[in-house]
Structure 1
Amino acid sequence: MKAMTFQGPGRRVWTSVPDPELQAPTDALVRVDAVTICGTDLHILKGDVPEVTAGRVLGHEAVGTVLEVGDGVTGVSAGDRVLVSCVAGCGRCSYCRQNRDGQCLNGGGWTLGHLVDGTQAELVRVPFADRALHVLPDTVTDEQAVLLADILPTAYEVGVRNGAVAPGSTVAIVGAGPIGLACIATARLLTPSRIVVVDPAEARRTAGEQLGADVALDGRDAALASVGTHTDGLGYDTVIEAVGIPETFELCAELVRPGGTVANVGVHGAPVTLHLEQLWTKDVTITTGLVDTSSTPTLLRLLAEERLPVDGLVTHRFGLDEIQDAYDVFERPQDSGALKVAMFR
């Protein structure tokens, strides 16, 4: 089969690799029908994720058709159209019993495109299939569903839920890339009084407003000025970091109110300064996290009922064999205007 492989920092190759086979009774073999590229894939290509070794098939988000299942799989069958989640656990360890699959102790967590071959391929072996795969209703398209593989549950669980967004609260989201926009869409589910998004790119600010942001600001100075305008000078109840660079994290720490929460969602490849000399008296909570995908069934139901807006998140579409072109577009959002790109069989 053909697959997108990591060949060391800065090198990605679409090439022929052996077809995957079932390796455990809990595995499933899935034909990939739709797949996307994540910002984490770009971090891997920069060398920020050293666990990913040369030759690894990239990708952890897909929609596909089950071709074969192991003897231990009971929740899906050959022929089912399924969502492939980016994270899944064994279901038995202490973390999985708390629905914290991202911290699985028995070989689960984030494995696809990380520790085992991933989804940017014609076929993929999916470990722990009963927890990783979700049968899709006919009313949800492949393009909509692929957004549930990672960015929507990540935004909701690591950003909105960890950030303690609540009815009537104020929310600032720093970064209006795909994950920041997904934070806007999922924060809206909890009816905060105001959502402010910060991004230097005009197209992304516009997308943020279309998805439900009340205010879109172009940078640090405007964001800091908004504290007086929108929060009576106190700061925001929840501030979500959705970029993954030192400057944006430090801005989030400046924007949060005493007693508020900074929820870090961005993937960081460099150290960040934590200004405890400013924060130590403020009762601030800082959260980090890897998505567990425990919210996926709920988000899927909301998507099927047209209560979760996702229109506009996918901006570019390609055939699966055009994935090199898709990467070129996704890597240059300032020129291409790309948010999420999707490839289809």
Structure 2
Amino acid sequence: MKALVYGGPESRSWRDVPDPAVKDPEDAIVRVDAVTICGTDLHILRGDVPEVEHGRVLGHEAVGTVLDVGSNVRTVEPGQRVLVSCISSCGRCAPCREGRQGQCLGGGGWVLGHLIDGTQAEMVRVPFADHSLHAVPENVSSEDAAMLADILPTAYEVGVLAGAVSPGDTVVIVGAGPIGLAAITTARLYSPSRIVVVDPAASRREQALAAGADRALSPEEDVPAAVEALTGGRGADVAIEAVGIPSTFELCTELVRPGGHVANVGVHGAPATLHLERLWIRDVTITTGLVDTRTTPLLMRLLSEGKISVEGLCTHRFGLHEMQDAYDAFSRPDESGSLKVVLFGDAT
């Protein structure tokens, strides 16, 4: 089969690799019908995730059709359309039983495209299939379902839930890429009084407003002053960092009110300064985390019932064999205007 293979920093190739096969009784083999590229894949290609070995097939989010299952798989079967979650879960260890599947100690967690071969391929082996695959309702398209493999649960769990967004809150989201837009969608479930988005790209600020933000600011503006004016001098109840660079994290700590929450969602490849000399007295809660995907079934149900929308998140579509072109578009959003890109296999 063909797959996108990591060759070291700034090196990727679309080439032939061996077909995956069931190795463990809990495995499933899934034909990839729709797959996306994540900002984390770009971090890998920049060398920010040294655990990824040369020769690894990248990718950790997809929708596909089950081709084969191991002898111990009980809840999925060949021919079924499924969402391949970015997190694999053994379902047995203490973290999994606590709902912290991202910290799985039984061989799961974020392994696809990281520690084992991933989804940017014609087929993928998914470990712990019973806990790591989700049935896709007939009325949900593969493109829309792919948004639930990573960005929707990540924004919801690591941003909205960890940030304790509540009715009436002022929520500031720094970054209007796919994660930031997904944070707008899922924050709106809790009826905040206003959502303010900060992003340097005019096109992304426009998309944020279309997604439900009340105000979109450029970082070239005096953002702290604008947030103070909107909140009567208090500051944001919740500041969600959705970029992954030091300046955006540090901005969030400036914008949050005393007693507020900073929820860091972005993947950081460089240190950020934590100004404890200013924060210690202000009762600020700072959270970080890897998504657990425990909310994926809920989000799938809300999507199927029309309670949430992922419209506008996918801006570019390619054939699976156009993987290199898709990476070029996704990695240059200022030129391409890309948010999420989705690639479709021949069967779709």
| TM-score bin (small chain) | over 0.9
Residue deviations 1:55-96 (CA, integer Å, cap 9, x gap): 000000000000011111111000000000000211111100
The code of the aligned residue for 1:237 comes to D
How many residues of Structure 1 are paired with residues of Structure 2 in the alignment? Answer: 345
- Tell me, yes or no, if the aligned pair for 2:30 and 2:67 is still in contact at 8 Å: yes
**Alpha-carbon shift at residue 229 of structure 1 (Å):** 1.7
State the alpha-carbon separation in 2 of the partners of residues 202 and 222 from structure 1.
16
Q: Normalising to structure 1: TM-score of the pair?
A: 0.99
- Tell me, yes or no, if the aligned pair for 1:220 and 1:251 is still in contact at 8 Å: no
**Alpha-carbon shift at residue 263 of structure 1 (Å):** 0.2
The code of the aligned residue for 1:285 comes to T
Structure 1 counterpart of 2:170:
170
The code of the aligned residue for 2:308 comes to L
- Tell me, yes or no, if the aligned pair for 1:88 and 1:293 is still in contact at 8 Å: no
Q: Percent same amino acid among aligned pairs?
A: 68
Matches within 5 A, 1:63-74: 63-74=63-74
SS of the equivalent of 2:294 reads coil
State the alpha-carbon separation in 1 of the partners of residues 245 and 283 from structure 2.
24
Runs of 4+ in 1 over 6 A off after TM superposition: none
The code of the aligned residue for 2:73 comes to V
**Alpha-carbon shift at residue 230 of structure 1 (Å):** 1.3
- Tell me, yes or no, if the aligned pair for 2:200 and 2:220 is still in contact at 8 Å: no
SS of the equivalent of 2:282 reads coil
**Alpha-carbon shift at residue 185 of structure 1 (Å):** 0.7
Matches within 5 A, 1:98-247: 98-219=98-219, 221-247=221-247
State the alpha-carbon separation in 1 of the partners of residues 174 and 292 from structure 2.
22
The code of the aligned residue for 1:81 comes to R
Gaps of 5+ in 2: none
The code of the aligned residue for 1:277 comes to E
State the alpha-carbon separation in 2 of the partners of residues 276 and 234 from structure 1.
19
State the alpha-carbon separation in 1 of the partners of residues 167 and 112 from structure 2.
35
**Alpha-carbon shift at residue 222 of structure 1 (Å):** 3.2
Structure 2 counterpart of 1:293:
293
Structure 2 counterpart of 1:25:
25
- Tell me, yes or no, if the aligned pair for 1:153 and 1:293 is still in contact at 8 Å: yes
- Tell me, yes or no, if the aligned pair for 1:34 and 1:142 is still in contact at 8 Å: yes
- Tell me, yes or no, if the aligned pair for 2:195 and 2:214 is still in contact at 8 Å: yes
The code of the aligned residue for 1:24 comes to D
**Alpha-carbon shift at residue 220 of structure 1 (Å):** 5.6
SS of the equivalent of 1:79 reads coil
The code of the aligned residue for 1:106 comes to G
Q: Normalising to structure 2: TM-score of the pair?
A: 0.98
Residue deviations 1:6-65 (CA, integer Å, cap 9, x gap): 000000000000001111111100000000000000000000000001000000000000
Gaps of 5+ in 1: none
> Over aligned residues, Cα RMSD in angstroms?
0.7
1:253 and 2:247 correspond: no
State the alpha-carbon separation in 2 of the partners of residues 194 and 6 from structure 1.
42
SS of the equivalent of 1:182 reads helix
Structure 2 counterpart of 1:83:
83
The code of the aligned residue for 1:249 comes to F
Structure 1 counterpart of 2:341:
341
State the alpha-carbon separation in 2 of the partners of residues 168 and 338 from structure 1.
32
State the alpha-carbon separation in 2 of the partners of residues 190 and 178 from structure 1.
20
Matches within 5 A, 1:1-20: 1-20=1-20
